[in-house]
């Protein structure tokens, strides 16, 4: 595999109302990055964290951050490429499946 897969986590410093007992978006971003790196290595996935209340001034990040706020999505919202693979409490199994569908395989 020679192509980078982008994983983007949209979240905020404050916890969403539905996520009171869950880790923060940033903590879940760090957890996902560590778990994916352990299973697949560090070579083929790029990670980006986007604060939904202070997104970067570039597309598509700014537009999707606005969508998360406007549609009251439960954050963090996890995207692999342009596919939503998790909301609120992302499941590793779902994230792994999306990565593998894009050609990533576990490192040995």
Q: What are the structural domains of the chain?
A: 5-15+24-101 (3.40.30.30)
pLDDT at residue 29, rounded to an integer? 95
Q: pLDDT higher for 61 or 17?
A: 61
Average pLDDT value over all residues in the chain: 91
Q: Which of 21-25, 73-77, 85-89 has the lowest mean pLDDT?
A: 21-25
Q: What is the pTM of this model?
A: 0.92
Which of left, alpha, beta for 20 (phi over 0: left; psi -120 to 50: alpha)? alpha
Instruction: Return the sign of the alpha-carbon dihedral for residues 54, 58, 61, 66.
Output: positive
Alpha carbon distance 9, 77 (integer Å): 6
Residue 1 has pLDDT above 70, yes or no: no
* Average pLDDT estimate for 60-66: 95
Which of left, alpha, beta for 25 (phi over 0: left; psi -120 to 50: alpha)? alpha
């Amino acid at each position: 595999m020679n192509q980078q897969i982008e994983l983007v986590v949209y979240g905020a410093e404050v916890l969403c109302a539905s996520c009171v007992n869950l880790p923060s978006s940033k903590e879940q971003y760090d957890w996902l990055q560590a778990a994916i790196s352990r299973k697949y290595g560090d070579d083929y996935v790029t990670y980006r964290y986007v604060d939904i209340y202070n997104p970067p001034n570039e597309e598509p990040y700014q537009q999707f951050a606005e969508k998360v706020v406007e549609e009251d999505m439960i954050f963090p919202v996890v995207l692999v490429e342009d596919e939503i693979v998790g909301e609120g409490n992302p499941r590793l199994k779902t994230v792994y499946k999306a990565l593998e569908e894009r050609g990533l395989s576990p490192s040995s």
